[in-house]
A = this chain, B = another copy of it.
Amino acid sequence: MTASNTTPNNASQLGQSSAADGSGGLSAPAFSPLYQQIKAQILQSLQNAEWQPGDVIPSEFDLAARFGVSQGTVRKAIDELASENLLVRKQGKGTFVATHAEHQVQYRFLRLHPDVGTVQSEGPAERQIIWCRRVRATAEIAKLLGLRTAEPLIHVRRVLRLGGVPTICEDMWLPAGPFKGLTVEQLSSYPGAMYSLFESTFGVRMVRAEERIKATTPDTETAALLDVATQTPLLNVERIAYTYNNLPMELRRALYRTDTHHYKNELN
């Protein structure tokens, strides 16, 4: 009785998700293990906002019962989601939906760190919104965000001061639809990180990002904002941030001063 498996193998009552699964190829039947299907189910619940950021999700045994699999299988699914920073496990307490609002890390995607030996204990960044405008997508921006040219966008420009020094000047482009109603007042008064605001107010959770870095010099306007000469070499960091389903939701083009800070990257 006990030693026989539940089903011969692949997909039975568990419908394979229909949307893009990123496999690309189309020849192979593409065997998908049970835990991957469970993972897709959990992901679906996250996308559907069935569980909110910060919430506890059901226990491993509950989920196992719900999906009709063993706890170990659910565990493996959650393991992967946790390693992708979509879920956070806390022993003895439960498994939680990850959130940008965790006070521990203010800027999860910011890789700019103060040089050691120079200014330290600089505290939180001071943020200054330069503007927040409605614009239309250029062909270039539309392509990067997966939109059509001339679709409405919100364009935000801001400066961050670290340790009192203007260090970062960034432009952000957001699709107007999901961010309808975003105002300078919100951006200025919100106490947490910008992605935390997006999460709580607009239900858009940034999950992953890609950055492309070049060296450049600022135009006169940006040079003034950063209080540097126009020939000062700066890092040009272009970021595309993605929400669930690899959907790009933000384009950000930032200039970093690197006289007292550096961009840190770990290579494995």
Q: Mark A214-245, 1 if CB is under 8 A from B, else 0.
A: 11110000000000000101110001000000
Contact between chains at A235 and B208 (CB < 8 Å):
no
A62 within 8 A of B: no
A109 within 8 A of B: yes
A178 to B108, CA, bound (A): 38
Question: Closest residue to A242 on the B side, CB-wise?
Answer: B267
A109 to B265, CA, bound (A): 11
Question: Closest residue to A231 on the B side, CB-wise?
Answer: B231
Q: Which residues of B contact A108 (CB under 8 A)?
A: 267
Interface size in chain A (residues, C-beta < 8 A)? 29
With A231-B231, A233-B234 known as contacts, the answer to whether A265 contacts B84 (CB < 8 A) is no
User: Least Cβ distance of A129 to chain B in Å?
Assistant: 23
Contact between chains at A216 and B233 (CB < 8 Å):
yes
- Give 16 new A-B contacts, CB below 8 A, not counting A212-B265, A213-B258: A85-B268, A111-B267, A208-B266, A209-B266, A211-B264, A211-B265, A212-B263, A213-B213, A213-B235, A213-B263, A213-B264, A214-B262, A215-B215, A215-B234, A215-B258, A239-B267
Interface residues of A (CB under 8 A from B): 84-85, 108-109, 111, 208-217, 231, 233-235, 239, 256, 258, 262-268
